[in-house]
C-alpha cells in the first residue's frame, strides 16, 4: 500500500497508519544525525535562501520500518511551510533520505515544533495562522514588488556573452546604491535583461523583507504619471516612486519623446540617487542611441555603468534549456538538449518551445524523442529561427565573409570539405531562406545542375537537426546579413 496518495493526505489515514500498523522502530539510527546529514546534502541542491527559509526549522519526528521500506514523519514549524515542502521539495527530500538509508522511503510532513531539548511539541492550530513565516513574508514581498518568482540568480545561466552584466548585477545586489548607480543593461529581445534585473530585486528582498523594491516597465511608469495628472494625484505618484530603496524599470526607451514623463522621471531619478537608493534600467539599445531621449537623462544614465548582453552561445543555450526544463518538471536527455539549443537562438524562444513540448507530452501523450523535437522545431512558428530578408548577393557575401573564402573558392569545383560544406550551406540558405528555385540556385553557384542543389539542401537539412556546428554556422551567417 502506498502511503502518499492525495486522499491519504486529505483524511489523515497516513498518520493513523503510521501510529497503528507500523510499530517496528529502527534500532541504532540517530534521527538528529541522520537529518543533519540529509540537510547538508540538500544545501548542495538548493540555494542558500531556499534552504534557510524552508529547511532550517524542520526535523524528523519519527522513523519506522516495515519489511524493506522506511516510513518517516518530518516536522515543520507552520502549515504554510508544510504545504510548501510537500508541493515543491517532496521528491528531493525523499530521494536524499532513500540514498542515506539504502531503502525506499515514504514521507509525511506534519506541523510539529521542537523545544530547546529537541523534543517534539504538539502543534497549535488556530483558525487563522498568524505566524511570521519568513517564506511567506518573502513571497508576499516579491509579489508586492511585481517581480517574477523564477527570475533569480540561481536560475540565471552565465557564459561569456552575459558574464559582465551578471557580475555587475551581483555586485549591485551585494551593495545597492553604491556599486554602480544607475546600472544600465541593454541588448536584444529575449536574452535575459529582465531576468537579471529582477534577480537583484530578489536578492535585496531575501536580505531585507522590508526593503522597498518595485519593478515596472517604461509603459507602466508613463501610465502612472498620466493617471496622476488626470486625477490630480501626482503627490501619490511621487510618494510611490521616490521613497523606494530599489527601482527597476524595464524598457526605459519607452519614455523617449514624452516630455512630461521625462521631466517627472528626471526628478524621480535625482531624488532616488541623492537618497542612496539603487536604480536599474534596461533597454534595447545604449542611452546614446535612444532617439528623442533628453540629453540630461542620457548623461545621468551614462554616469553609472552601462553593460550589454549579447546573444547566447551554444553552451549557454544548453544550460538555459536544462534550467527551464527543470523548472517545468521535464527531464530531457543531453542529446535532445543539444538539438533544442542548436535550433533555437534566444532564451525567450526556448521558453516558448518548452511550453509547446510540455503540452505535446502531457496532452497528446507524445513520446520524447528526436523525431518529436525535430517536428516541433520545424513547424515554422515563433520558436523557429526567423527567415532573413536579403538578396542572393548579400547571402553569397555573408558566406564568403563568415568562412573567410574568396568567391572563386566558394563557386569553384573543389570538393575539399572546407570548401564543399560552405558551398552546400550557401545552396541551403538560398533555397530555404530566399525560396529560390533549385535551377536558379544552381545557376548562381557556378551553373550547377538542380539535382546537385537538391542533394546539398537535403544533406544540410539532415545535418542541421543533430549537428551543433552546422546550426551555429547557419545562425552566424544569418547574423552577418
Query: For the chain, which residues make up each domain, given as ranges?
Result: 6-121, 143-309, 314-377, 392-480
Fold of 143-309: Rossmann fold (3.40.50)
Q: Which CATH superfamily is domain 392-480 in?
A: DnaA protein, C-terminal DNA-binding domain (1.10.1750.10)
Kindly report the CATH class assigned to 314-377. mainly alpha
> Is 356's pLDDT higher than 70?
yes
Question: Please, which pLDDT band fits residue 440 given cuts at 50, 70 and 90?
Answer: confident
Task: Give percent of the chain above pLDDT 90.
Answer: 24
- Beta strand extents in 296-384 (DSSP E only): 305-309
194: annotated binding-site residue? yes
Return the higher-pLDDT residue of 80 and 253.
253
193: annotated binding-site residue? yes
- Give the pLDDT confidence of 59-75 residue by residue, as tens digits: 898 888 877 788 889 98
Do 374 and 465 form a contact (C-beta atoms < 8 A)? yes
Question: Please, which pLDDT band fits residue 16 given cuts at 50, 70 and 90?
Answer: very low
Name the architecture of domain 6-121.
2-Layer Sandwich (3.30)
- Beta strand extents in 299-360 (DSSP E only): 305-309
> Is 182's pLDDT higher than 50?
yes
Q: Looking at residue 305, what is its pLDDT?
A: 93
Question: Please, which pLDDT band fits residue 101 given cuts at 50, 70 and 90?
Answer: confident
First to last CA, the chain: 63
Return the higher-pLDDT residue of 387 and 315.
315
**Angle (nearest 5°) at CA 107 between 104 and 110:** 165
Length of the chain in terms of residues written: 481
* Count of Cβ atoms closer than 10 Å to residue 50 Cβ: 20
240: annotated binding-site residue? no
Task: Give percent of the chain above pLDDT 70.
Answer: 85
The contacts of residue 85 (CB under 8 Å, 6+ apart) are 54, 58, 74, 76, 93, 109
pTM of the model: 0.54
> Is 80's pLDDT higher than 90?
no
The single-letter DSSP state of residue 106 is E
Amino acid at each position: 500500500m502506498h502511503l502518499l496518495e492525495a486522499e491519504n493526505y486529505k483524511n489523515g489515514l497516513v498518520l493513523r497508519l503510521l501510529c497503528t500498523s507500523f510499530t517496528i522502530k529502527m534500532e541504532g539510527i540517530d534521527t538528529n544525525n541522520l537529518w543533519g546529514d540529509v540537510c547538508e546534502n540538500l544545501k548542495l541542491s538548493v540555494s542558500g535562501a531556499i534552504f534557510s527559509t524552508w529547511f532550517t526549522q524542520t526535523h524528523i519526528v519519527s522513523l519506522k520500518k516495515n519489511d524493506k521500506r522506511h516510513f518517516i514523519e518530518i516536522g515543520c514549524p507552520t502549515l504554510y511551510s508544510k504545504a510548501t515542502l510537500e508541493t515543491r521539495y517532496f521528491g528531493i527530500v525523499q530521494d536524499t533520505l532513500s540514498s542515506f538509508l539504502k531503502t525506499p522511503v515514504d514521507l509525511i510532513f506534519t506541523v510539529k515544533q521542537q523545544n530547546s531539548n529537541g523534543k517534539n511539541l504538539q502543534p497549535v492550530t488556530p483558525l487563522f495562522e498568524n505566524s511570521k513565516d519568513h517564506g511567506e513574508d518573502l513571497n508576499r514581498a516579491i509579489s508586492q514588488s511585481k517581480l517574477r518568482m523564477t527570475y533569480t540568480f540561481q536560475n540565471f545561466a552565465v557564459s561569456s556573452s552575459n558574464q559582465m552584466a551578471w557580475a555587475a548585477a551581483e555586485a549591485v545586489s551585494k551593495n545597492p546604491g553604491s556599486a554602480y548607480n544607475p546600472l544600465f543593461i541593454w541588448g536584444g529581445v529575449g536574452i535575459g535583461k529582465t531576468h537579471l534585473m529582477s534577480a537583484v530585486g530578489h536578492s535585496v528582498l531575501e536580505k531585507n523583507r522590508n526593503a522597498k523594491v518595485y519593478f515596472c516597465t517604461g509603459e507602466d511608469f508613463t501610465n502612472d504619471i498620466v493617471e496622476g495628472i488626470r486625477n490630480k494625484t501626482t503627490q501619490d505618484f511621487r510618494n510611490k516612486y521616490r521613497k523606494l530603496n530599489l527601482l527597476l524599470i524595464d524598457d526605459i526607451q519607452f519614455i523617449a519623446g514624452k516630455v512630461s514623463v521625462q521631466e517627472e522621471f528626471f526628478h524621480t531619478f535625482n531624488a532616488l540617487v541623492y537618497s542612496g537608493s539603487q536604480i536599474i534600467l534596461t533597454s534595447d539599445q545604449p542611452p546614446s542611441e535612444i532617439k528623442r531621449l533628453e540629453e540630461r537623462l542620457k548623461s545621468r544614465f551614462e554616469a553609472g555603468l552601462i553593460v550589454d548582453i549579447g546573444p547566447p552561445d551554444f553552451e549557454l543555450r544548453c544550460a538555459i534549456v536544462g534550467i527551464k526544463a527543470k523548472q517545468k518538471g521535464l527531464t530531457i536527455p543531453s542529446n535532445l538538449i543539444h538539438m533544442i539549443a542548436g535550433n533555437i537562438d534566444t532564451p525567450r524562444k526556448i521558453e516558448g518551445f518548452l511550453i509547446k513540448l510540455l503540452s505535446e507530452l502531457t496532452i497528446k501523450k507524445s513520446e520524447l524523442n528526436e523525431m518529436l523535437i525535430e517536428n516541433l522545431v520545424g513547424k515554422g512558428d515563433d520558436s523557429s529561427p526567423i527567415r532573413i530578408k536579403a538578396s542572393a548577393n548579400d547571402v553569397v557575401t555573408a558566406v564568403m565573409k563568415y568562412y573567410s573564402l574568396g568567391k572563386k573558392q566558394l563557386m569553384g569545383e573543389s570538393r575539399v570539405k572546407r570548401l564543399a560544406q560552405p558551398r552546400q550551406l550557401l545552396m541551403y540558405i538560398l533555397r530555404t531562406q530566399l525560396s529560390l528555385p533549385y535551377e536558379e540556385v544552381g545557376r548562381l553557384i557556378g551553373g550547377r545542375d538542380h539535382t546537385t542543389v537538391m542533394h546539398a539542401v537535403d544533406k544540410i537539412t539532415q545535418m542541421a537537426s543533430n549537428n551543433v556546428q552546422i546550426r551555429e554556422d547557419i545562425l552566424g551567417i544569418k547574423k552577418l546579413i
